Structures are given as structure tokens and as C-alpha cells.
Chains A and B, each alone.
Chain A
Amino acid sequence: MNKKITAAALAMALGAAFATVSTTAAAAEMGGKEKCYGVALKGKNDCKAGAGTTCAGTSKVDYQGNAWSMVPAGTCEKTESKTSATGYGQLKAFKEKQA
């Protein structure tokens, strides 16, 4: 790409971006990019002791291939299987909910 053209393209884009942001106070939706917040964190260093009723510290269960019987059993069970279509439809629906 020609350097002068690049410079001009950059200047135009930067100018337009700057103007858009300055004029739209709540431009929360830029190109369908959802903004999400999560929950706050705890402090992880502590001086308490866990109650001694669990056996987490003494359990000898290890992953030995066949010795492991647990399977993931959470919200992953509700997700679409890998064999579904491209999923473009679902993604679009998600965007629309956000708008």
C-alpha cells in the first residue's frame, strides 16, 4: 500500500472515530461488540483454616485414565452439539438481544 494513501486513510479513520466517540456519549454498541461486566473478586490470601469435615486433603483419587469416573455436568450440557450448523443464526440472535 502506498505510504501516502495509508497515512490519509489512517487520518480519516482516526478523525471519524474520534468525532463519533466525542459526540455519542453512550456509544456502548460499537459494531455489535457487547460490553459485559462480571462479579467482583475476593482476596485469596487468608489465615483461616478449612473445617476438617472434608476429605479433600487425604483423598488419594488420582487421574489414572480408567480410575476417573466423573463427567462434566454443568451448563455445558445445554450448549449446542458440535454437529450443528455454523451457528451464525444463534450468534445473530444474541446480537439482537443486546441491541
Chain B
Amino acid sequence: MNAQFFEALLDPGLLPPAGLTTWNSSDPAARFAVYRNNVIVSLIDALADTYPVTQALVGEEFFRAMARLFVRQEPPRSRVLAFYGESFPAFIETFPPAASVPYLADIARLEMLRVQAYHAADAIELPADVIAQSIARIDELPELRIKFQPSVGILCSPYAVVSLWAAHQGITDISTVDPDVPENALILRPQLDIEVIRLTNGASSFIALLLQGKSLGAAHEAASLAADFDLTDILGLLIQTQAISSMKIH
């Protein structure tokens, strides 16, 4: 029973399941449609809540039509819907009608990183003396492994993802943004508010290497290849945003 009912919910090409009855002998399809609508609409709404800028960029009508295809193709696998649609950016990337907005998938990636940062485990405060002690043990500094707060995420894009996103927060006028300028984003949540910060190429590769578990010395050496890398600048940002949760040798 469940299987037939369920398949017909998600596939409008199928007839409603057999064995449905109505008191007035009216066609049960009209009533079954209430369930079909609720499943599809509630999941599209969940995507719209996660991807508001993606929706604004293409318009509500286009977004909801695209989201409907995605919902049918990839319905939730989890009973917890907080992160539903993690694969929506990949879907957008291969969805031909969205190809005229090449940066759309990366904007969606940034929005999913925001949702993940929003619900991530709370930051563990780095004790104030850890940095001072690290500086004191100068020989060990290159071997230091930096761990980040659970909310920290990085996005490197060939498009102006941060500027495009910021233009939808009332910060700037979208007509002044050139979407084809590569930008990198650092996403994190120091306390309750999520921050989206634009990073230089050097800074983002530095953080990406540290996230991969590379030592401070190795990350510094590799990131220094980027002309725009400024070690003091990025360390200052990481300290200021309380992005670091631990600094240890192992």
C-alpha cells in the first residue's frame, strides 16, 4: 500500500493509488492532489528558504519550476529538512535553462554554506593565551596545525559571488557588480550572525590548506605563491572573527 501511494505522490504521471474512497464517490484524484501538492510545495518552500538570492536572481517563477524538477529527482533522504537541497547547486549547474546565469550554482553554494554555518555546532572559544604562547615557541610555529570552528566554510569561485550576494542584502547596487570577477568567500558564524567575507586568492588558499590539515608553515609557503597573499592580514582576520578553535602541534 505504502509503496504505490508514495510513488504516485512524487510522479504526477502515475494514477493515484487504487483503493482510495470518498464519501460522495467523487474522483479521489482531486483529493489525492492535496497530498501531492503538499509534498511538492513544502519541499520547494524549503529550497526557497535556503536559496533566497538564487531565487531573486532568476525570479520566483523560474526558481520554483526548476526547484520542482529537483524535488522530483532528489526528494529528501533525511527526516530533518534543515539541509535539504545540498545537491541543488550541482543540479543547477547541469540544468540547461539556467546556463544563461553561469554564476547561479556558485551563489547557491554560498547560500548552502550559510545554512550549514547557521546550524553548525557553536564556536569553542580559543583561550586568550594560546596565541601568545604559540608566538613564544617560535621554533614550533611552522609545525602548528590550526583547527577552525565548525561553522567555517570556504568558497572559491570564478564569479563575483560575494558581491552578487551582498547586492541582495541592500549593501550595493547589483548593476555595479561585474559577475565575471573571480571572488572567494569565507563563511562563518562567530556567535549568532553568519558572516560572509570576501577573501583574496592567497588568503582563501591559505585557509583551504589549513582546513585540509596542512601545517601553518606548509600552508604559508604554498599560499605565498599568490601575489596578493598577506600573512598578517589573514591571521588578523582569523583572530578577529574567532575562526580558530585550536592551535596545536599535532
Contacts and interface: CB of A to CB of B under 8 A. Distances in A.
Interface string B92-109: 000111101110100000
Contacts of A8: 138
A90 B199 contact: no
Contacts of A73: 58-59, 61-62
B80 interface: yes
B152 to A, nearest CB: 14
A45 B240 CA distance: 35
- Which of A30, A46, A58, A68 has most chain B Cβ within 10 Å? A30
B157 interface: no
A58 to B, nearest CB: 5
Interface of B: 9, 12-13, 33-42, 44-46, 49-50, 52, 55-65, 68-69, 79-82, 84, 95-98, 100-102, 104, 114-115, 118, 131-132, 134-135, 138-139, 141-142, 160, 162-169, 171-172, 174-181, 186, 193-200, 216-217, 220-221, 224, 230-233, 235-240
5 contacts: A44-B49, A52-B34, A58-B33, A65-B96, A76-B58
